[in-house]
């Protein structure tokens, strides 16, 4: 059974600082997804990482995937208040392919203070 | 684009009644749709996988007779919560995979169910 662990689960940081959220998963997968969720809303797709060594950047967020270590990271650079949200990583639940439902981490609740 | 809609966006019902939630892919065909449930301040949990024209596959611990899933076409899947009870109150989110590409799931806006 796939387990996806995120840490930290809660993060309070100041604007302008950098930080990294970690996502470990327990079984082989060639892909990993990152999502953002605002209170009361559904998921917004941030990154789709499809291969070992994949690195993607969008604005102040950068995600990477190391399939050998079963580790993905979401790095926040020079945080701004608008990035306050809950961030989830997720991996395919079974075969590791794209047709699977996803197993999600518990989420990282990020608060960015002025 | 890849837009997924859900209807209704929220529903309040009495205990013992049934509620149907629709999930539609608006601008693409989806061979596979997924249903997730999210309790307050918790993560999403996969409930079932829905394939067009075949029976849904339920995750362990999800009662198939309580959560009826129908995937009648390549753009519509429905989830019916039968004989709903307060513990079924949750945020239900569907997602869909494009027929021509398996790299990404597109999530609907969610349906908030409150059972009184």
For chain B, say whether A43 makes contact (Cβ under 8 Å): yes
Nearest to B19 by CA among B67, B51, B71, B54: B67
pLDDT confidence of A96, banded at 50, 70, 90?
A: low
Nearest to A73 by CA among A5, A15, A27: A5
pLDDT confidence of A27, banded at 50, 70, 90?
A: confident
Residue A29 has pLDDT above 90, yes or no: no
Measured CA to CA, the distance from residue A27 to residue A36 in angstroms comes to: 23
Contacts of A40 (CB under 8 A, 6+ apart): none
Give me Rg for the CA atoms of chain B: 13
Q: What angle do CA A4, A39, A88 make, to 5 degrees?
A: 15
Enclosing H/E stretch for A19: strand A19-25
Measured CA to CA, the distance from residue A107 to residue A86 in angstroms comes to: 6
Enclosing H/E stretch for B106: strand B105-107
Q: Residues of B near A (CB-CB distance < 8 A)?
A: 32, 34, 36, 42-46, 48-49, 59, 93, 95, 97, 101-110
For chain B, say whether A2 makes contact (Cβ under 8 Å): no
pLDDT confidence of B63, banded at 50, 70, 90?
A: very high
Find, in chain A, the residue whose alpha carbon is nearest to that of B50.
A101
Residue B47 has pLDDT above 90, yes or no: yes
Set of chain A residues whose Cβ sits within 8 Å of the Cβ of B42: 106
Query: What was the pLDDT predicted at B102?
Result: 65
For chain B, say whether A48 makes contact (Cβ under 8 Å): yes
pLDDT confidence of B106, banded at 50, 70, 90?
A: very high
> Does residue B82 or residue A94 have the better pLDDT?
B82
Tokens of A75: 């790095």
């Amino acid at each position: 059974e796939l387990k996806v662990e995120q840490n930290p689960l809660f993060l309070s940081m100041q604007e302008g600082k950098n930080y990294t959220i970690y996502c470990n998963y327990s079984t082989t997968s060639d892909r990993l997804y990152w999502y953002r969720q605002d209170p009361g809303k559904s998921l917004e797709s941030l990154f789709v990482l499809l291969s070992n060594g994949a690195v993607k950047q969008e604005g102040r967020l950068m995600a990477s995937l190391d399939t050998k270590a079963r580790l993905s990271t979401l790095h926040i650079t020079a945080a701004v208040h608008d990035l306050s949200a809950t961030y989830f990583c997720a991996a395919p639940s079974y075969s590791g392919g794209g047709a699977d439902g996803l197993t999600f981490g518990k989420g990282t609740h990020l608060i960015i203070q002025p | 684009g890849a837009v997924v809609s859900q209807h209704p966006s929220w529903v309040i019902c009495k205990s013992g009644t049934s509620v149907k939630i629709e999930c539609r892919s608006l601008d693409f065909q989806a061979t596979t749709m997924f249903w997730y449930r999210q309790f307050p301040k918790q993560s999403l949990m996969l409930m079932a996988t829905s394939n067009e024209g075949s029976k849904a596959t339920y995750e362990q611990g999800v009662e198939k007779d309580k959560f009826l899933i129908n995937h009648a076409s390549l753009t519509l899947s429905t989830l019916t919560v039968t004989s709903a009870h307060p513990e079924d109150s949750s945020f239900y989110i569907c997602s869909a995979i494009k027929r021509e590409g398996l790299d990404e799931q597109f999530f609907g806006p969610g349906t908030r169910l409150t059972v009184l």
